[in-house]
Amino acid sequence: MANTTELQDLTTQVRRDILRMVHKVNSGHPGGSLGCAEFLVALYNEVMDRKDGFDMDGLNEDLFFLSNGHISPVFYSVLAHAGYFPVEELSTFRLINSRLQGHPTTHEGLPGVRIASGSLGQGMSVAIGAAQAKKLNGDNKLVYTLHGDGELQEGQNWEAIMYASAKKVDNLICTIDLNGQQIDGSTDTVLPMGSIEAKFLAFGWDVLTVEEGNDIDAILKGMAEAKALTGKGKPVCVLLKTVMGNGVDFMMYTHAWHGKAPSDEQLENALSQNPETLGDY
Amino acid sequence: MKTYTYTEKKDTRSGFGAGLAELGRTNPNVVALCADLIGSLKMDEFIKENPERFFQIGIAEANMMGIAAGLTIGGKIPFTGTFANFSTGRVYDQIRQSIAYSNKNVKICASHAGLTLGEDGATHQILEDIGLMKMLPGMTVINPCDYNQTKAATIAIAEYDGPVYLRFGRPSVPIFTPADQKFEIGKALQLTEGADVTIVATGHLVWEALEASKALYEKGISAEVIDIHTIKPLDAKAILDSVAKTRCIVTAEEHNILGGLGESVARVLATNNPTPQEFVGTKDTFGESGTPAQLMDKYQLNAEAIINACETVIKRK
């Protein structure tokens, strides 16, 4: 069990990884990645009950599915630091012949990834299937997911949200990254979605909100509450209020860094705000 | 000439239902999903015997494909059931990303394919599904010809590890393949031996090809009929061996000539042994309402069309 300081140090290193990965290939999605760094660090290092090593079926361990696959930089960094593959491999992100494709995939056999994602709105259905397989197998471990808030504009999510409560898929905790931003602007300017909380509640889910989604203690507390809600006949939704670009001042509170890499000077500035903790790859 | 007869007609979808029911008894990992078409897909028996292994998804095919992909994580072998139109075009990106690219062991089982769906009309009569599915890397595409073959194919694909598109239909058609056949994915079946023309047919057109070969025989033309139940991977050797003798070929399918079996055969021939070919299929058109027989007649997907195509192609040798 890691303490908060250790998780914070890892988060800082993950931020450095994200920035250096997207800078090197001048492509990728730093904004949402930075916003979810604390969440994924906490999830993989404290919340989830994981086995050593990786096998596709993941029997008797918690599973995670990243639905908003474009935040692959944070996913890859967290997976590498969790031991699924060498941290040095992060240097191959988006390069030809790499297992670290632009969006996560099983195609190149990268340990830690169980489904391709990138085309949005598909991850919740997959997670439901995996959760129902766990029930059939008598496996009482949980299935976790992460989705963008803009991603909820894809209709397949609402098919899945309706199904999960109707079929009492109560071993599922879906987290929505509520950063209020998407490519073309804020979610409120692109397509206002009203209250996402009210929508999930109306669809029969248990919903809880983590107001400080970039605070590790708040995340741990929220996820413990979410876990306590599982097994009671309802799927669980965690609304995680995050800041896109968190940890790099000029990337915060804007959609501008959704899919843009920093320049050399910007990288230097960003890294200086996040001093090396565990060592760069 | 070897001739085929039948004593009974049945729909191929019932072959699927019977195969699925048998799998329910023999393979505990097989699970089934349906998007509100249990009766149409003949899934009742499996569901009755294995209620805990059946997932009623409701009218939400995209969600069904994703759930099927997820069920494979944990070792299940999901069989999804809905109409061919809603099994392919409606959910192409879900199949592409969550099943094909992710190499998930999902069996996409599609009924009411083609014109023989009948009266519901073109909204439901997909004639593009073989093309859509064969273009996906890693996807196996199977279109069996009668009840027995569909049942055998259903059982066989559970043993194969990888995504499969299994296409079958609604109308009752003659049962002429043996009940005890072993289905081999990717292995074409030579039904008659001939010297003048090769007829390669799939699905409901296989029986029509046999009828055509009888009529051609009366006219002194010897046709070699090959049942291509697996469109991908295609049995290139069977096709090339046959045209080495006959030097011309007709392909027949209940599908658009663009993107179907015929084009797959043409590619094999063009790259190995350029051979005159005629295509029996729909000519880049949508279907319409009507009885299956009326539609197959109007759109020339029958023995008569195959006979005409054979006579044309023989002249092109």
pLDDT tens-digit readout, A163-191: 999 999 999 999 999 999 999 999 999 99
Identified catalytic residue from B8, B22, B45, B61: B61
The rounded distance, in Å, linking the Cα atoms of B150 and B229 is 9
pLDDT in tens, chain B (317 residues): 899 999 999 999 999 999 999 999 999 999 999 999 999 999 999 999 999 999 999 999 999 999 999 999 999 999 999 999 999 999 999 999 999 999 999 999 999 999 999 999 999 999 999 999 999 999 999 999 999 999 999 999 999 999 999 999 999 999 999 999 999 999 999 999 999 999 999 999 999 999 999 999 999 999 999 999 999 999 999 999 999 999 999 999 999 999 999 999 999 999 999 999 999 999 999 999 999 999 999 999 999 999 999 999 999 99
Residue A135 has pLDDT above 70, yes or no: yes
Rounded to the nearest 10 degrees, the angle between the axes of helix A4-25 and helix A264-272 is 180
Residues of B with CB under 8 A from a CB of A: 31, 52-53, 55, 57-58, 60, 62-76, 78, 93-94, 96-98, 101-104
Q: Quote the tokens at residue A167.
A: 């079929």
- 3-state class of A15 per DSSP? helix
Tell me the average pLDDT across A55-66.
98
A140 touches chain B (CB under 8 A): no
Write the pLDDT tens digit of every residue in A20-32.
Answer: 999 999 999 999 9
Average pLDDT of chain A?
97
**B61 is known as an active-site residue:** yes
The rounded distance, in Å, linking the Cα atoms of B300 and B295 is 8
Q: Is residue A1 very low, low, confident or very high in pLDDT (cuts 50, 70, 90)?
A: low
Residue in A182, A184, A208 with CA at minimum distance from that of residue A196: A208
Q: What is the pLDDT of residue B311?
A: 98
Compute how many other C-beta atoms are within 10 angstroms of the C-beta atom of residue B229. Answer: 29
Tell me the average pLDDT across A110-135.
98
Of A118, A133, A159, the CB nearest to B71: A133
Residue A3 has pLDDT above 60, yes or no: yes
> Looking at chain B, which runs of residues are DSSP E strands?
9-11, 30-34, 54-56, 77-83, 107-111, 140-142, 164-167, 172-174, 189-190, 197-201, 223-227, 230-232, 249-256, 277-282
Residue with tokens 């023995």: B303
Q: Does the interface ipTM go beyond 0.90?
A: yes
Looking at this protein, which amino acid is placed at residue B115?
Answer: L
A137 touches chain B (CB under 8 A): yes
Question: Is B66–A156 a contact, with Cβ atoms under 8 angstroms apart?
Answer: yes
Q: What is the pLDDT of residue B186?
A: 98
Write the pLDDT tens digit of every residue in A5-55.
Answer: 999 999 999 999 999 999 999 999 999 999 999 999 999 999 999 999 999
A26 touches chain B (CB under 8 A): no
Question: Is A163–B63 a contact, with Cβ atoms under 8 angstroms apart?
Answer: yes
Backbone phi, psi, residue A208, to 5°:
-135, 155
Tell me the average pLDDT across A225-245.
98
A186: left (phi over 0), alpha (psi -120 to 50) or beta: beta
pTM of the model: 0.97
Tell me the average pLDDT across A91-101.
98
Backbone phi, psi, residue B212, to 5°:
-65, -40
Question: Is A163–B102 a contact, with Cβ atoms under 8 angstroms apart?
Answer: no
Q: Is B51 exposed, middle or buried (0-12, 13-18, 19+ CB in 10 A)?
A: exposed
